Homo-oligomer: A and B are copies of this chain.
Amino acid sequence: MADKQYELGDAELEVLKVLWERGASTVRDVLQALHDQGRNQAYTTVQTLLTRLEAKSFVRSDKSEFAFVYRARLTRDRVTRSRLKTLVAQLYDGAAGPLVLQLVRMEQFTTDEIDELHQLIDRLDSEADTKNQEPR
């Protein structure tokens, strides 16, 4: 049950994030970026991560240059949404409401964020009958 096609590990996610932030990158580019972030991995480690990400179809590579260039195949939004969904399913049986409530209770927000939340909630209020679309 549940395809559970094994999501991303932490290190893999870090690599993906680099690709999101700086776009198409070589192994060395990613390595450099990670180094700058304090992570200190070997070149081949990053290479492995990228290879695995490609096997999972999270990135694609192309070789027109000397070295392979990697690009993310999914947007950050898409991935975070999926992770979120998993977490919501696991912890709250799929109900996002309680999660948001808990988050709102537990975290500090800037006035700007509160503002935006206001607007969002209001909008939700009015279009409270939006249909459920499931784009695969």
> A13 to B90, alpha carbons, bound, how many Å?
8
Shortest CB–CB separation between residue A48 and chain B, in angstroms? 19
Shortest Cβ distance from A112 into B: residue? B97
Shortest Cβ distance from A125 into B: residue? B114
Main SS class of interface, A? helix
Assess the B102–A121 pair: CB atoms within 8 A. Answer: no
> A118 to B120, alpha carbons, bound, how many Å?
10
- Which residues on B sit within 8 Å (CB–CB) of A96? 103, 106-109
Shortest Cβ distance from A85 into B: residue? B106
Assess the A130–B104 pair: CB atoms within 8 A. Answer: no
| Residue total for A at the interface (Cβ-Cβ under 8 A) | 44
Q: Which of A28-36, A52-60, A63-71, A76-84 has 4 or more CB atoms under 8 Å from chain B?
A: A76-84
Q: A103-B100, A104-B100, A113-B101 are in contact. Are A84 and B84 (CB under 8 A)?
A: no
Of the residues B1, B77, B104, contact of A121 by C-beta under 8 Å: B104
Assess the A103–B102 pair: CB atoms within 8 A. Answer: no
Interface residue ranges, A against B (CB under 8 Å): 1, 4, 10, 13, 38, 77, 80-81, 83-84, 87, 90-92, 96-97, 99-111, 113-114, 116-118, 120-121, 124-125, 128, 130-133, 135
User: Which 6 pairs show the lowest CB-CB distances between chains A and B?
Assistant: A96-B107, A97-B113, A80-B91, A104-B120, A110-B133, A111-B128
